[in-house]
Structure 1
Amino acid sequence: MTMKSRIAAAIAVAAVALTAGVASAQNWQGAPTYGNVRLAAGFQPDPYNVQLVAGGPIDSRAALGAACPGFIANNPDFDLYWTAGNTGLPLVISANSNADTTLVVRTPNGEWLCEDDGGFNGMNPGLRIDNPQTGLYDIWVGTYSQGNAPAVLSISELTSN
């Protein structure tokens, strides 16, 4: 192997290592633990609710950065296949639990959204996505502290549930 080839290989390995950080933190392509649904703008009944157990072994701050507090599972808890429409309504993803819960959502364009305590009932998370795009939303419901807790994931177009 020539010196030029070795340098090129080292650069390629470094590039892969740098870009693998966030993507490898969660297996967004993994099978969702609590299933999936296909919803389109204007869906009924609204909200669509899923009972699940929040939490997991992964520290989402370490995996995704300081803006993503909590502990989540490796695979998504739930997958939402969304079809956008002309309703002008936002997509609202929230969780409700007696425990302090968090949300992590991977949007169709690969953006990671994180939320803690911005929901509708104290220590519950809620994300409002204006002009949501069509595609797959991978959703994790975490717990702020290590441990698991029963929770309800809600998907809505209403600004409060």
Structure 2
Amino acid sequence: MAPQAEAQNWRLEPTFGSIALRSGFVPDPHRHRVIAGGDNHFLGSEDCRFGGWFASPPDYRLIYEAGRFPTLTLTVDAPGDTMLLVNDPHSRWYCNDDHDGRNPLIRFANPPTGQYDIWVGTYNRSNVRNAVIYISER
């Protein structure tokens, strides 16, 4: 779990939209394109110890209704080095960098119902990248 991300404001409207998904959603994974990066530096998590650059508003918002599946996984695919920062329904912050090569992944066991705000950052400030967020219960 990451410390609170001071520059990220989950109250702002997400830049690239939102989705409401109920457990058992299809297609799985759900995919959504965003632009990674921003002007705010985040540092202070074991899983993101070198920090990254994120926007202030969320990139994407998931309203999730939990159900029969025991996990919820968020991952990013991008051509460069990206990071993933998530504020969960209990206002806990999670960050991941380089889970699989340069792609981040955050997996929630027994995910709670509610709002997940998602930011996709870049390792270098100047490397704004096209990225795809994947949301899966598999």
Note whether the superposition's TM-score is higher than 0.5: yes
Q: Which has the higher contact order (CA 8 A, sep 6+)?
A: 2
2:133 is the counterpart of 1:153:
yes
Change in CA separation of 1:97 and 1:23 when aligned onto 2, cut-off 3 Å: closer
Change in CA separation of 1:55 and 1:23 when aligned onto 2, cut-off 3 Å: closer
Structure 1: gaps of 5 or more residues: 1-20
| Residue from 17, 20, 24 that aligns with 1:42 | 24
Check the 8 A contact 2:5/2:93 in 1, yes or no: no
Counterparts in 2 of 1:15-94, with a 5 A limit?
22=4, 24-61=6-43, 65-67=44-46, 68=48, 69-88=51-70, 90-94=71-75
* Rounded Cα–Cα distance in structure 2 between residues aligned with 1:43 and 1:111: 24
Which of the pair is proportionally richer in helix? Answer: 1
* Rounded Cα–Cα distance in structure 2 between residues aligned with 1:132 and 1:38: 14
2:119 is the counterpart of 1:137:
no
Identity %: 43
Structure 2: gaps of 5 or more residues: none
The alignment covers a number of residue pairs equal to 132
Question: 4+ residue stretches of structure 1 with deviation over 3 A?
Answer: 21-24
What is the TM-score with the length of structure 1 in the denominator?
0.78
What is the TM-score with the length of structure 2 in the denominator?
0.90
Which of 1 and 2 has greater Rg?
Answer: 1
